[in-house]
Structure 1
């Protein structure tokens, strides 16, 4: 059974993790990069991720062959050197 998940993150412009997800078993990744997302007064996407001035929002959908493949892939992904903050030029993922 296919397993899908979505993520909302803030990142410096042009920093993508899609290749790393694919390398660790994801079937498909769709990334929606911020174009015009206003700050809210009570709640908003920028507030939800505590977006910094030099960051943009990325909403991603990731499709995995199964939850088991996703769990194994995520474990490998977060130990992958390409996902380390110093490699991605960001403070957090």
Structure 2
């Protein structure tokens, strides 16, 4: 079975172009280092819930949109190897400073997942 990293973050609508440029560069790095696929999606039909939701989870503010991303790897061991290389990659260094991110990294959440159904 594969392994998946998932990410959700709030992005200011006026910085969505900047985010897209960052994501394209990041995606190339992940793919170059061995990820099987890399996906970045912007909310289109995502509403606040009564108890919880994507907007509530990231404490979405007016003028922001939710971005949902995932990266697929061959397995957990490959993910750990690739993630280590990503963090050491010179192209990734500019994002190590939160001031260089086009979103509030404090409101981003992420994690690794073992698939239970795959087609």
Q: TM-score, normalised by structure 2?
A: 0.59
Give the C-alpha shift of residue 46 in structure 1.
Answer: 0.5
Match of 1:47, SS state, is: helix
- CA–CA distance in 2 between the matches of 1:49 and 1:78? 24
Residue 11 of structure 1 is matched in structure 2 by 11
Stretches of structure 1 lacking an aligned partner (at least 5 in a row): none
| Contact in 2 for aligned 1:8/1:49 (Cα 8 Å) | yes
**Deviation per residue, 1:46-70 (Å, 9 max, x gap):** 0012223232111222111332221
* 1:64–1:43 CA distance, 2 compared to 1 (3 A): same
Larger proportion of helix: 2
* CA RMSD of superposed structures (Å): 2.5
**Deviation per residue, 1:27-83 (Å, 9 max, x gap):** 211222112322223211100122232321112221113322211332344562242
Give the C-alpha shift of residue 10 in structure 1.
Answer: 1.8
Q: TM-score, normalised by structure 1?
A: 0.71
Residue 114 of structure 2 is matched in structure 1 by none
* 1:76–1:11 CA distance, 2 compared to 1 (3 A): farther
- CA–CA distance in 2 between the matches of 1:49 and 1:75? 26
